[in-house]
Every structure is written in structure tokens, then in C-alpha cells.
Structure 1
Amino acid sequence: MDVAILSVSLNVYSTARIAEEFEKAGHFVEHIDHTKCSVQLGGDKPRIFFGTDNITDDFDAIVPRIGTTVTRHGAAIVKQFEINHVFSTAHSLGIVKARNKVSTLQLMSKKGIPVPKTVFSINPNNVTDQIELLGGTPVIIKLQEGTQGKGVILAESKKSAISVIDTLYAMNSNILLQEYIEEANGEDLRIVVVGNKIVASMKRTSERDDFRSNVHRGANVEEVQLTPREKFMAINATKHLGLGVAGVDLIRSKNGPLLIEVNASPGLKGIEAATGLNVAKCIVQYVERKVKRK
């Protein structure tokens, strides 16, 4: 196969690992910086350019690794590949939905997948009402499109919550508020789904001075056994978003597992280290099956 990995940089562990496994399997793989791609519409057939090179018909499959700051352009490039009948490990619309936490939670709620109590609004005058809807403080304040734990704040009092929310509203930031699940105790689950199959899962535990359990923030990781309910939630969340590869984040509460978010470009470093599993190879095998069937 000829495969393109859409990523701003190849000097990232996950991107490099996927490229390495494609090459080991005997495939041609090329790194394409999607921020340097453009689409030409009109005429007989839309064309995709990487710089000045026409790459419209160069690839059998693409693996999108789209960054937060260029989500919409990256998704538009993915969509054009889809229109041109090139297989993608993530649907363009799924990338956009997964990047926005509100869109993800709305869809999950509609599909019956449990999520934490969540409130979002753009009205700065009803902050107190929003907090009360969640049962009071402490509350979690999140940027709707933050990643790796960035833009996630724990407000332990109503006064601090109002101060933070007022500041974010003044900066025209899109935010949401969530109930604080105390019994989660700074732990969450990261589950990697590839082709409607769970290939790896780990528990992330935050450092003592940080409630966020992201690997990029120094969380401790270990392999974890999932319950049937957790497996069901992870597989179906990925399916509902139209993603072939995803990282699903859950927390364990006294009322059962709750979905926090879904990542369309999950990092592989932490989970490969925690489990000893070759997740990148699973992604390659998934693409092989799909392209062969197509």
C-alpha cells in the first residue's frame, strides 16, 4: 500500500511509531503536513496538492493525526481524500466532533452512554445558576477544545469558580462545567479502540498535586482490566463518532463508568509502555484489512 500520515511533524512518538510499523510491513509511507496542503475545486475532478505536488491519486489510505489548532483545515483535507475514495482511519466529521467536548458529550448522551453532569452556556450572568445545576462546588471548568489536560481547572469554591469563568468569558473562550467526581480520586481509564476492537487499555493516576491524569502531565500509568460495561461504552463511543482509531477516556464513579472524552488521534507512548502491546501494529493491520476489502 501507499499510505500518507497527515501530521504537522514526524518527530512525534505516535506518528513515528505508526510510520515505522507501516515500513516494517513492507508498505510505502509518506509524512504529509496537512497545513501545507490545498484543495483545487472545479473542473473534472477536485485535486489535492502538497505544496505544488499533486497527490490526489497517490495514496491508498491516510492516517490523520490532526492537531488542535488546525482541526478544521485538517478535517477539510481528510474530507477531500474521502470524497476521492481514499480510506481514512478517521472520518472527517468524527474528527471535528471528537475535538469539541460539547459535541462529543451531546452525541454520547443522545446514544445513552453515561457522562458526568455537564453545563455549558455563554451567559456570564448566570454562573451561580450553572454551578447550582451541578450540585455546587467543587466543579471542573474545561475549555471545549482543550487537549492533554490543558484548559482544565478545578474550582473548589463558588468564589474561585466565578472568578475563573468570568475571566474565560472575557477572553471569548468556549467552556463547559462538569461535576467533580471525588471518588475517581485523580484516576481515569484510557482505552484505545481500533476497528471496533479494544486493543489496549490503561489506568492513569495523577500526581498528588494535580487532579488531571494526563500522561503529558506526568501521570502514572498501568495496564487495567476493563468491565464489560466499560468495553461496551468505549467501542460504541468510537462507532458513534465514525472513528476507526480512537482513544476513549472514562472515569469510574459510584454510579458506574462515565465517558469524559474521545480522542481521534490518541497518543501511543504511554499505553504502549504501560501494556507492552504494539498498538501501532494494530493500526497498520486495520488499514491493511480495510484497503484489501475495498
Structure 2
Amino acid sequence: MRLVILSRNPELYSTKRLVEAAEQRGHSAQVVDPLTCDLLIEKNLPSVYYKGQVLQGVDAVIPRIGASVTFYGTAVVRQFEMMGVFSATDSQAIVRSRDKLRSLQLLSAAGLGMPKTAFTNFSKQEKNLVEQVGGAPLIIKLLEGTQGLGVVLAETKKAAQSVIEAFHGLKARIIVQEFIKEAKGADIRAFVVDGEVVGAMKRQGREGEFRSNLHRGGTATLIKLSKEEKNAALKAAKTLGLAIAGVDLLQSDRGPLILEVNSSPGLEGIEEATKVDIAGKIIEYIERNQIRKRKNTLKA
């Protein structure tokens, strides 16, 4: 197969591992920066140009689209889909997962547990927002934040009201979320590939830090998920239409609570913690899809 990995940086661990895993299985893998692609849209002949050349003969693409380039990145993925090229992650599923408010609404409608969450259109009722999620302490998140950035722990009602008022004054969209004390600054990342949890790790924030992100000094250890946790992760990925997903959840007294579903989850932390070839699992998923595609073609 000829694979294209849509990534802005070929030196990133996740990008290099996907190239390595593809080549180990006898495939070619080209890293393409989606922001340097030009899209030609015409009747029955959509095409993608990269460095002045048409990208032809591509069997599948693996999107590694960062949150800051979602708009153009997903446009490139859509173009490949229009060309009949298989995408390991559906373009609309990426868009769906990047809209934190929409994704939480969909997960809620699917009956999945999550921390109580409030959103408002710059309402002046900061006190009511605090009460709606159970009072302080509570978490305040920017809708566009990633890797723990734009996430604030407000330990008192007064602090919470002040932070909410400040964000609203800047016209920054936020969600206000219940603080799950019993999680003790830890969360779980379950890595889903093609309807299977292929690895899971528990991430613990460093001392004095409520955020468990590895980018912020957190540590990761292997964890075996309970049946309830595994089912929640699989259902969350399926609800958002993601064949590849990093599902973040909290362990609480009322069961697993979904925090977020990531459509471009990093591979470094999960591979180091689990010692599982996650990149290889992704390539195997694409191989299975190509086999199904050939069988369907022969039947037709």
C-alpha cells in the first residue's frame, strides 16, 4: 500500500512511529504537511497537489491533524475522501470531536457518564453557573484549549466567579465542569483502534498539579480497565464516529466519567506505558480495510 500521513512535523514521535510501522509491513509511507497542500475541486475530478505535484495512487491517509489547523486539515482529509481514498479517521468525526461542546452533548445523549458541565453565552450569572455544577472546587476550560492549556481549577466560589467573569470579559468561550475529588489528579487514557481498546494507561499529575497531562509533567503507568471502563471508552469513540481515538476518563464513585475524546491521540506515552505497538495496530486496521475493499470489489 501507499500511505500518506498528514502531519505538520515528520520528526514527531507519533509520525515517525507510523512511518516505521508501515515500512516494517512492506508499505510505503509519505509524510505530507496538510497546510502545504492545494485542493483542486472540479466536476468528478477532485485532486490534491503537494509541492506542485498531484498526489496519485494513494491507498489510505492517516490524519494527524492538530487542533490549531482543524479547518484546513479536515478540508484536505475530505478531499482525499472525495477521491475515494480511505481515511483512517473520518473527516467529520475529527470536526465533531474538536467541538468540545458538541461532543459532550453527543456523549450525554448516548447515555455516557461525564462530570456535570455547564455552558453559557457569556451570561452574567456566574454564581448560578457555579451552583449548577455543584459549587467549588470546579474546573473551568477554554473550549479551544489542548494539552491542559486553558484549564483552571477554581478552589472557592469567589475565585470561580472571578475567573468566569474574566474569561467572559475577554469573550472567550468556556465550559464550567464539576471537580471529581476522588480521581485525585489522575485520569485514564484508553486508546481505541477499530472497535478495540488496544492499550490503556493511568496518568497521574505531579504533586500539586490537578492536570494529569504528560506534557505538564504527569506520569503514566499501565492499567487494566474494568469492563465498565472499557465499554465506556468504546461507546464514546463509536458515538463520535472515530475508528482511532484516545478516550480520556476519570474513575469516580459513580463509575467512569468521560472527559474528552481525542481524534489525534499521541503514541509516545501510551506505547511507553503499555509496551504495545500501537502504531502497528493502526497499520493493521488499514490493512484490514483494504482487504475488505478488495473483497467487495471482487463481489461486485
TM-score, normalised with respect to structure 1: 0.97
User: Which position in structure 1 is the counterpart of 2:248?
Assistant: 249
Pairing of 1:140-289 with structure 2 (within 5 A): 140-289=139-288
Aligned residues: 293
| 1:280 CA displacement | 0.7
| 1:72 CA displacement | 1.3
Cα distance in 2 for residues equivalent to 1:51 and 1:124? 47
**Structure 1 residues not aligned, in runs of 5+:** none
User: Which position in structure 2 is the counterpart of 1:76?
Assistant: 75
Cα distance in 2 for residues equivalent to 1:215 and 1:68? 17
**Structure 2 residues not aligned, in runs of 5+:** 294-300
| 1:76 CA displacement | 1.2
Question: Are the equivalent residues in 2 in contact too, given 1:134–1:178 (CA < 8 A)?
Answer: yes
Cα distance in 2 for residues equivalent to 1:214 and 1:138? 20
- Summarize deviations over 1:23-53 as a string: whole Å, max 9, x none: 1111110001001112111244122112321
Question: Are the equivalent residues in 1 in contact too, given 2:122–2:171 (CA < 8 A)?
Answer: no
User: Partner amino acid for 1:199?
Assistant: V
Pairing of 1:15-54 with structure 2 (within 5 A): 15-54=15-54
TM-score, normalised with respect to structure 2: 0.95
User: Match of 1:159, SS?
Assistant: helix
Cα distance in 2 for residues equivalent to 1:120 and 1:52? 45
Cα distance in 2 for residues equivalent to 1:193 and 1:42? 36
CA RMSD of aligned residues (A): 1.1
Cα distance in 2 for residues equivalent to 1:234 and 1:206? 21
Question: Are the equivalent residues in 1 in contact too, given 2:249–2:259 (CA < 8 A)?
Answer: yes
Question: Are the equivalent residues in 1 in contact too, given 2:188–2:248 (CA < 8 A)?
Answer: yes
User: Which position in structure 1 is the counterpart of 2:84?
Assistant: 85
| 1:212 CA displacement | 0.3
User: Partner amino acid for 2:114?
Assistant: V
- Summarize deviations over 1:141-178 as a string: whole Å, max 9, x none: 01112211111110111222122222222322211000
Cα distance in 2 for residues equivalent to 1:63 and 1:21? 12
Cα distance in 1 for residues equivalent to 2:33 and 2:224? 37
User: Partner amino acid for 1:28?
Assistant: S
- Summarize deviations over 1:206-229 as a string: whole Å, max 9, x none: 111210001111111111111111
Question: Are the equivalent residues in 1 in contact too, given 2:117–2:176 (CA < 8 A)?
Answer: yes
User: Which position in structure 1 is the counterpart of 2:10?
Assistant: 10
Question: Are the equivalent residues in 2 in contact too, given 1:206–1:213 (CA < 8 A)?
Answer: yes
User: Match of 1:147, SS?
Assistant: coil
Question: Are the equivalent residues in 2 in contact too, given 1:124–1:166 (CA < 8 A)?
Answer: no
User: Partner amino acid for 2:113?
Assistant: P
- Summarize deviations over 1:108-155 as a string: whole Å, max 9, x none: 001111111000112241111111111111110011122111111101
Change (3 A) 1:229 1:80: same
User: Match of 2:124, SS?
Assistant: helix
User: Match of 1:283, SS?
Assistant: helix
Identity among equivalent positions (%) equals 44
- Summarize deviations over 1:246-273 as a string: whole Å, max 9, x none: 1000101111110000011111111111
User: Partner amino acid for 1:222?
Assistant: T
Pairing of 1:51-66 with structure 2 (within 5 A): 51-55=51-55, 57-66=56-65
User: Which position in structure 1 is the counterpart of 2:93?
Assistant: 94
Deviating beyond 4 angstroms after TM superposition, the runs of 4 or more aligned structure 1 residues are: none
Change (3 A) 1:141 1:10: same
| 1:69 CA displacement | 0.8
| 1:77 CA displacement | 1.0
